[in-house]
């Protein structure tokens, strides 16, 4: 089978949204045409900063359009009007490089669709929020989608599957390859090396960093770092004093259904796997429902160059279809990772 062939069983393709957004765009959008985004306006306490924080507090989402910004460093300053503290992307799944100081690339190939997900839900240290910075955009052919997680939480808890998630929790299985094992070869079947994920060349330190983030570890052949993380499918959200859904099918082998050089692998050989917390498998129908729940409450962000979006990682999931730029077109987003928090899972009585 070639590296570009799609695997069996049949693929569950996201539909992303119903065509009707969960909230009106004016509830989270600021048109910056009337602002000059200079040093003063990009300083905490400015009029723009106050407006951004008000919207973010109300809905957990802020979208800046018509900024006139062209440099990622300036877009980062705009995002930091909401994101006061940033975390280091350490122990992350995607192989991200830096585009600017503290601004990461998406870390995924453009042709691959990225299922709705919450950033860093698969480790014990996650992030409260994140921002996307549109350096280059191709409009409505390269959107990012966000999904209203409060509505998704209510909807999934009404299902038998949601109650099963609540009862059993989840186990995240992740296989991180060793960079040295692929030296001088084409990296077929590689998602991320443990050296890049753990930000170290030392195997002992990599194992220590994994365990610091709540992961169980085991070494496989060719220094394959195998991790497991047991946790609730939900997470307590302090501002609303309630548990919210904090998991998705993105952390299963389905993540790679359209991923070049990985999608040819049988599911049992793919670098990610998601099971219930008792290690029982999800059925295809349960996985399809997991995808559908987020799709029901999704909406697109159709990028223009210079746009900035800040997203609450509890209140919104994010993802995107595959992107296929035409000749001379570019789509490049920078990612800013906000303040870290330690996962506590769900709390009794907070449903």
The CATH number covering residue 122 comes to 3.60.130.10
- Residue 119 inside a domain? The answer is yes
pLDDT at res. 87:
61
- Residue 8 inside a domain? The answer is no
**Predicted confidence band of residue 81 (pLDDT cuts 50, 70, 90):** very high
Max CA distance (Å), the chain: 59
pLDDT at res. 78:
96
User: Which region among 100-114, 133-147, 244-258 has the lowest average model confidence (pLDDT)?
Assistant: 100-114
pLDDT at res. 106:
63
**Predicted confidence band of residue 96 (pLDDT cuts 50, 70, 90):** very low
**Tokens found for residue 69:** 């910004």
**In whole angstroms, what is the distance from residue 38 CA to residue 298 CA?**
33
Give the pLDDT confidence of 125-179 residue by residue, as tens digits.
999 999 999 999 998 889 999 999 999 999 999 999 999 999 999 999 999 999 9
Give me the number of domains the chain comprises: 1
Bridge partners for 63 per DSSP: 29, 309
Percent of the chain with pLDDT over 70: 91
Give the pLDDT confidence of 30-55 residue by residue, as tens digits.
999 989 998 899 999 999 999 999 99
Q: Tokens 């973010």 appear where?
A: 56
Give the pLDDT confidence of 312-345 residue by residue, as tens digits.
999 999 999 999 999 999 999 999 999 999 999 9
- Total-model pTM: 0.91
216-220: strand order across its sheet: 216-220, 224-231, 170-176, 272-276
pLDDT at res. 126:
94
Whether the ω angle into residue 5 lies within 30 degrees of 0, i.e. cis, is: no
- Residue 60 inside a domain? The answer is yes
How much is the average pLDDT of 66-91? 86
Nearest-5° Cα angle at 246, 124 to 249: 105
Mean pLDDT of the chain: 91
Give the pLDDT confidence of 191-240 residue by residue, as tens digits.
889 998 888 999 999 999 999 989 999 999 999 999 999 999 999 999 99
Return the higher-pLDDT residue of 333 and 9: 333
Query: Residue 100: which domain range?
Result: 25-342
- Residue 349 inside a domain? The answer is no
8 Å CB contact between 304 and 151: no
pLDDT at res. 99:
54
- Residue 254 inside a domain? The answer is yes
- Residue 4 inside a domain? The answer is no
- Residue 10 inside a domain? The answer is no
**Predicted confidence band of residue 104 (pLDDT cuts 50, 70, 90):** low
- Residue 171 inside a domain? The answer is yes
Give the pLDDT confidence of 261-306 residue by residue, as tens digits.
999 999 999 999 999 999 999 999 999 999 999 999 999 999 999 9
């Amino acid at each position: 089978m070639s590296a570009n062939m799609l695997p069996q069983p049949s693929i569950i393709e996201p539909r992303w949204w119903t065509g009707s957004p969960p909230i009106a765009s004016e509830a989270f959008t600021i048109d910056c045409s009337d602002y000059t985004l200079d040093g003063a306006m990009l300083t905490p306490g400015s009029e723009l900063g106050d407006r951004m924080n008000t919207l973010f507090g109300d809905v957990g989402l802020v979208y800046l359009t018509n900024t006139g910004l062209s440099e990622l460093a300036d877009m980062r300053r705009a995002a930091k009007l909401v994101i006061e503290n940033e975390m280091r992307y350490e122990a992350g799944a995607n192989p991200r490089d830096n585009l600017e100081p503290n601004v990461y690339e998406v870390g995924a190939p453009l042709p691959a669709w990225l299922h709705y997900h919450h950033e860093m839900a698969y480790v014990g240290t996650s992030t409260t929020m994140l921002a996307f910075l549109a350096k280059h955009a191709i409009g409505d052919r390269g959107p990012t989608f966000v999904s209203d997680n409060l509505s998704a939480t209510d909807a999934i808890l009404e299902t038998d599957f949601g109650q099963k998630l609540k009862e059993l929790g989840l186990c995240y299985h992740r296989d991180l390859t060793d960079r040295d094992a692929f030296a001088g070869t084409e990296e077929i079947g590689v998602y991320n090396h443990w050296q890049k994920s753990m930000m170290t060349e030392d195997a002992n330190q990599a194992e220590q960093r994994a365990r610091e983030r709540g992961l169980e570890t085991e070494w496989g052949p060719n220094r394959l770092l195998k991790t497991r993380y047991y946790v609730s499918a939900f997470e307590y959200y302090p501002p609303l004093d309630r548990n919210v859904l904090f998991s998705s099918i993105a952390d299963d082998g389905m993540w790679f259904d359209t991923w070049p050089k990985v999608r040819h692998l049988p599911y049992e050989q793919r670098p990610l796997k998601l099971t219930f917390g008792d290690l029982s498998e999800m059925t295809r129908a349960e996985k399809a429902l997991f995808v559908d729940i987020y799709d029901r409450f999704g909406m697109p962000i159709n990028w223009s160059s210079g746009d900035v979006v800040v997203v609450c990682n509890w209140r919104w999931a994010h993802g995107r279809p595959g992107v296929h730029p035409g000749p001379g077109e570019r789509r490049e987003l920078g990612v800013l990772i906000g303040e870290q928090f330690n996962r506590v899972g769900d709390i009794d009585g907070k449903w």
